[in-house]
Chain A
Amino acid sequence: MRYAAALFGMLLVMMLLMRGAASIAHPFDAPRTVPVDFDAEVLPILSEHCYRCHGGVRELSGLNLVYRERVTQPAKSGACAVVPFDAASSEMIRRVNQVGGPKQMPPATSALSRRDRELLARWIEEGAAWEKPWALQEVRATDSLSVQHQEWCRVGLDRFVLAAMEEQGIEPAPEASRATLLRRLSLDITGLPPEPNEVEAFLADASADAYERVVDRLLASPHYGERFARVWLDLARYADTQGYEKDLPRTNWLWRDWVIDALNADMPYDAFSTRLLAGDLLDAATDSDRVATAFHRNTLTNTEGGTDSEEFRMAAVMDRVATTWQAWMGATFQCAQCHGHPYEPYTQREYYEFLAFFNQSADADQDDDAPILKTASPTHGETSVLVMAELPAAQARTTHVLTRGSFAAKGEAVSPNTPFILPPMDPSLPRNRLGLARWLFDPAHPLTARVAANRQWEILLGRGIIETSEDFSLHPEIHGLLDHLAVRLRELGFSMKAFTREIVCSATYRQSSIASVQALAIDPSNRLFSRAIKRRLEAETVRDAVLAVGGILTRTLYGPPVMPAQPSGVWATVYNGEDWKMSEGAQATRRSIYTYWKRTSPHPQMIALDAPSRETCVVRRTQTNTPIAALASFNDPALLGAARGLARRALSDSSDDLRAQAARMFLVALSRDASPEELDRLVAFLETERARFAADAAARNAFLAADATLAPQTDPSVFAALASGANLILNLDEFLTTK
């Protein structure tokens, strides 16, 4: 049994490992007529086997295999790695064919397969064509693919997904049940589960466009903005403190409100991005435009005594560069801070030329976080926010290449520019952050739309088309899908709501999460989106959903951060007298996006459920299921308040019968009716708890805590038993996941 399990695990892993290769027909399986595709076939070999030593970092023996012009020039030895059309004279081929000895490349332990060696030779014989990595090539819309089961497709993207499935001989999963779809849509679009009346209404709606109308209702909900703002808060490393050591408070929440507002108003992604990066530089910039620039003022400020402000100013500028690339271009540009990028065609000089766009802002790691804009919040009166502002021309800084990235080691001076491999900046654009933002949205820019489309897909489908959404160097597995979406995003005028609507209305999105035997065998890890991906709710959503189902979620938007319940003693930061003062009344049960975020000590429940600590840009959260997370959702006294709330709802909605009350709790929490079998089991537990609480008034009172007096007509033992049952339901796998 154990052996079988191990074997199964290994099989899975082997399939995972092979997946990269599986989508590409191997060249020598049959006599090939098409030329070798550099990007799809050669680059992966170089990347896997060569770049560690002959990439932008080490360039051993003077050989850098990232650029064609370097490959065809003599290395230190005088030999050329690649002589186009002449494999026999190419040092690369000699070396990879060497058996043993110091000349063999890659070294003995990781010699290339015969296939790879032959592929390299053939590629050189064909002239060593060299093209940009796929993600840096222009977005290309693919002509419509032919699929057998055209009737399955609802929107354009479905053809791409279906074509890939048909190629592998998989059928799509059937459409999920209506209740499942409504729950999925509600959680995906608003971050909150549907209310029971919404489920009823949807199930009863026989009209042809019932689904689309639900989608439109959800997209119009103000909670849409809250849900997607969460993503931007991670990208922006938003927090309510400065970050280092004392980690003192910082008032920047107006920016969070700006994001919620902009998303709810469906500000097009280009306009939205331009404001985040350069709102202050727009003609006739408004206060609102300036508030948006707090995006890049969420960097850390080091107030520790004895720190060099220039060092940490530069650290913040570098962080802005890294974040801009991560959020808009899906690349780890920061690798080029100390040396050439290890595997992408970016040089260290290009890094600092790009950094020069961000090096003219007035902020300088000062304790007071200047410059600060004092302005009015639409909802909360006067407040302030950290903003970007350019230095006056007379104080303009000169940007230098910094040796090994050290702020004190200034090399040659550089001026603002974008990397050579990407489309040039239009000469009419100003060489500042505004020009940079405009450049990102140049129709020829290969990354911006792809990265945005991939991110939205990742949020809605559970995994990006490029799974590593922070690094676009890997190939997408479904041919043409990402480019189709990037084209559609532009065609939709960068309306994220319209784009979201298109994705969630697809047949792909509407599939059940349940795998057929066939899909499991052929696509075990669901690389092809041949079913919906079941995934745990995000940290914030777990808490929000619990509070919502318990009927105690405060749905007010905006405003200063709040402090919901937190175990005592969690905050104890050096030299900092700040206390966690629990917010009162309804403020303690607001959505988690409003929870005070202290970087050195974020709310432990959020951290247990995989939220990042918000010191750096996070593109993608990794989900884990630790015992610590189970404790945080099952035992938290604050979430027990929601369990009592769910019990109260059942008491007021249902008849006096424990079974009916149990059924009601189940429906409210899981958006579906319990089966008789499930109800039997739940009621059995409730009966046990009722008896226990009836016999033990002290336990009952302790369990009901402050709510003990709130149900005068009810047997308190029943109330307590229901609350205990609710606590259980709110920790069921089905509650904690989208299904």
Chain B
Amino acid sequence: MPSDDSTILHLEAATRRRFLCDAGVSLGGVALASLLGSIGRASAASDDRAGFGPQQHFAPRAKSVIFIHCAGAPPQHDLFDLKPALDRYNGQPCPDEYLKGEKFAFIKGHPTLLASPFKFARFGESGIELSTLLPGLGSIADEIVLLRGMKTDQFNHAPAQLLMHTGEARFGHPSMGAWLSYGLGSSKAQLPSFVVLVSGDKTPDAGKSVWGSGFLPGQFQGVQCRTVGESVLYLDDPAGTTRASRRAALDAMRDLNAMSPFADASTRARVEQFEMAYRMQMSVPEATALTDESQETIELYGATPGKASFANNCLLARRLVERGVRFVQLFDWGWDAHGTGPNDDLLNQLPKKCLEADRPSAALVLDLKRRGLLDETLVIWGGEFGRTPMVEYRNGVKTHLGRDHHPHCFSMWMAGGGVKKGSVYGATDELGYFATEGIVHVQDLHATVLALLGFDHQRLTYRHAGLDQRLTGVTKPSRVVHEIMA
């Protein structure tokens, strides 16, 4: 090639040497930040927290979170919040005073109250009253705090899921997992800090935005791990290559990158990016394979290695937090019990879902506990809103029982990670229509989870659009629910 460029090439060579070889300049600055953590913040390039964002504001009670989202919204009156009054008033019209100004997603006309078709019992020494559909949860009743006064603003799935996961019912905001990855980083760079596991065949109603990074940089978004096919998209080496040949390719790539006249600190970040990917190709399959689990553990969860299932995802979640993943988000689809047919009703579908989910959820808590991980792992379980104390009977068809969407109260439970054991917080009125005590709005839940992880929700901020944005929003106050902390 004709060289009109000899001066620049000379300069290029000098620059490259300086950037690549000088001991004084390492990968500790901005370049590594683009790879791993927050952009342009001061941080020491230590092995554990290289390039990561703000330090925690106070001592954390939990190191990682497993959030099991039962998408569609489980019916609290049938699982968590027994209302004897519904037995008394079963089939009677819901009193007018409740319905003033109310809107429903599907219920038309004047709805009637519906008693739960299921029995409740007291479990554990704490005697928490739960549906007999949940014997597994009953067996760990003394480990959980049951929140009966949950509350949201939304009664359509997509906006409610967005609110539950991003603190905002509109698109465009980072998910809680993204916020925590931003705040915490990964303790082990071989695995993503935020992993998403989906079961029930479908993604959530609001799509991948519920584990997106919103206005935070993209590296904080959740990485979906699958139990069928490649565990992470594009993880597998292409056909016709071997680990050794890929290693050789990466070595050549590293050398050629270093030889480039344009090599600088960002080139080193590029090399490290590909090296991390290479390591991830080994660490992800290792983390996601269930083959080295004992038969006893497999049975505890009811897992079926090689298949996609909620139970497998629970077991995977434990393996991931064990390996340093900070936030594991499970989505399980199929809890939207409207009663329009046998596949979404209370008598068939709900027991089926409970059978699928109850044992593995309890197994997760037990397994974390016996491994000494429960104290540092916060497990959260629940849907995006509640269901009505009234029967839905869509379009007047009364063949199946179901309940409509309901924002005013619902139940969730948490375990481990610094929450009170064997306790109930919050209550609803006689019919289970409104939360009356211990009300925990979704944003309060967010503030509380951040607090358990060591963050002041008002100080875990990211500058965007001229504002210091927060998971809990910049306008509405939210409260840390200290009452549920151990």
Interface residues of A (CB under 8 A from B): 1-2, 4-6, 8-10, 12-14, 16, 52, 57, 174-179, 203-204, 243-245, 247, 300, 302, 304-308, 315, 332, 335, 338-339, 342-344, 468, 470-471, 473-474, 512-517, 525, 534, 567-570, 572-575, 599-602, 604-605, 607-608, 610, 613, 615-616, 622-632, 634-637, 640, 672-673, 675, 677-678, 681-682, 684-685, 688-689, 692-693, 698-705, 720, 724, 727-729, 731-734, 736-737, 739
Contact = CB atoms under 8 A, between A and B. Distances in A.
A601 B238 contact: no
B370 interface: no
Contact of A705 (B239, B242, B245, B259): B239
B45 A6 contact: yes
B29 interface: yes
Interface string B249-263: 100110111011111
Contact of A16 (B4, B40, B45): B40
B106 interface: yes
A604 B84 CA distance: 49
A626 B5 contact: no
Chain B CB within 10 A, most for which of A179, A245, A568, A635: A635
Interface in B226-281: 226, 228-230, 232-242, 245, 248-249, 252-253, 255-257, 259-264, 266-267, 269-271, 273-274, 276-277, 279-281
B411 interface: no
A627 B280 contact: yes
B240 A704 contact: yes
Q: Which 9 A-B pairs have the closest CB atoms?
A: A600-B207, A306-B105, A703-B240, A5-B28, A615-B171, A702-B240, A177-B5, A630-B277, A627-B277
Contacts of B1: 179, 203, 672-673
Contacts of B44: 2, 5-6, 9
Contacts of B7: 174
Contact of B465 (A6, A332, A678): A332
Contact of A572 (B42, B203, B270): B203
Which of A315, A332, A626, A732: most chain B Cβ within 10 A? A626
B208 interface: yes
Instruction: Tell me what chain B mostly uses at the interface: helix, strand, loop, or mixed.
Output: loop
Interface stretch (B8-16, B144-152, B446-454): B8-16
B234 A636 contact: yes
Given A332-B467, A335-B467, A13 B41 contact: yes
Task: Pick from A605, A701, A727 the residue with the most CB of B within 10 Å.
Answer: A727
Given A512-B11, A688-B248, A626 B27 contact: no
Contacts of A174: 7-8, 11
A572 B245 contact: no
Contacts of A602: 208
B218 A569 contact: no
Given A567-B229, A732-B256, 17 more contacts: A2-B26, A5-B44, A6-B45, A8-B24, A203-B1, A304-B156, A306-B104, A516-B11, A534-B262, A574-B203, A574-B204, A608-B234, A627-B192, A631-B235, A703-B241, A704-B240, A739-B262
A689 to B, nearest CB: 7
B34 interface: yes
5 contacts: A2-B28, A471-B466, A513-B262, A631-B232, A733-B271
B172 interface: yes
Given A5-B27, A332-B467, A600-B206, A682 B238 contact: no
Interface string B102-146: 011110000000000000000000000000000000000000000
A32 to B, nearest CB: 29
Contacts of B156: 302, 304, 306-307
Given A16-B40, A513-B262, A342 B241 contact: no
Given A615-B171, A728-B252, A733-B262, A702 B274 contact: no
B2 A534 contact: no
Nearest to B333: A574
A692 B248 CA distance: 12
A702 B239 contact: yes
Contacts of B259: 675, 677-678, 681
B84 to A, nearest CB: 29
Contacts of B40: 12-13, 16
B337 interface: no
A699 B239 CA distance: 7
Interface in B205-232: 205-209, 212, 217-219, 221, 223, 226, 228-230, 232
Contacts of A4: 23-24, 26
A720 B240 contact: yes
A724 B203 contact: no
Contact of B467 (A342, A600, A692, A729): A342
Given A306-B106, A573-B202, A731-B274, A10 B238 contact: no
B23 A1 contact: yes
B188 interface: no
A309 to B, nearest CB: 11
Given A244-B158, A600-B207, A569 B226 contact: yes
Contact of A9 (B28, B171, B204, B255): B28
B371 to A, nearest CB: 27
B294 interface: no
Interface in B34-67: 34-35, 39-46
Interface of B: 1-2, 4-5, 7-9, 11-12, 15, 18, 23-30, 33-35, 39-46, 103-106, 155-158, 170-172, 192, 198, 201-209, 212, 217-219, 221, 223, 226, 228-230, 232-242, 245, 248-249, 252-253, 255-257, 259-264, 266-267, 269-271, 273-274, 276-277, 279-281, 333, 404-405, 465-468, 474-475
A632 B279 CA distance: 15
B241 A699 contact: yes
Nearest to B236: A635
Contact of A734 (B207, B217, B262): B262
Contacts of A1: 23, 26
A335 B475 CA distance: 10
A613 B270 contact: no
B273 A9 contact: no
A467 B46 CA distance: 30
A616 B171 contact: yes
A376 to B, nearest CB: 33
A517 B25 CA distance: 13
A175 B4 CA distance: 11
Contacts of A599: 207
B260 to A, nearest CB: 5
A684 B24 contact: no
B119 to A, nearest CB: 30
A606 B158 CA distance: 23
A475 B238 CA distance: 49
Contacts of B226: 569
B273 A629 contact: yes
Nearest to A615: B171
A598 to B, nearest CB: 8
Contact of B256 (A16, A635, A682): A682
A151 to B, nearest CB: 17
Nearest to B468: A52
A308 B25 contact: no
A52 B230 CA distance: 47
A304 B158 contact: yes
B238 A703 contact: yes
A568 B252 CA distance: 31
A626 B207 contact: no
B157 to A, nearest CB: 6
A615 B209 contact: yes
Nearest to B268: A733
Given A179-B1, A534-B262, A685-B249, A613 B207 contact: yes
A700 B43 CA distance: 46
A630 B253 CA distance: 12
Contacts of B28: 2, 5-6, 8-9
Contacts of A703: 238-241
Contact of A624 (B5, B207, B218): B218
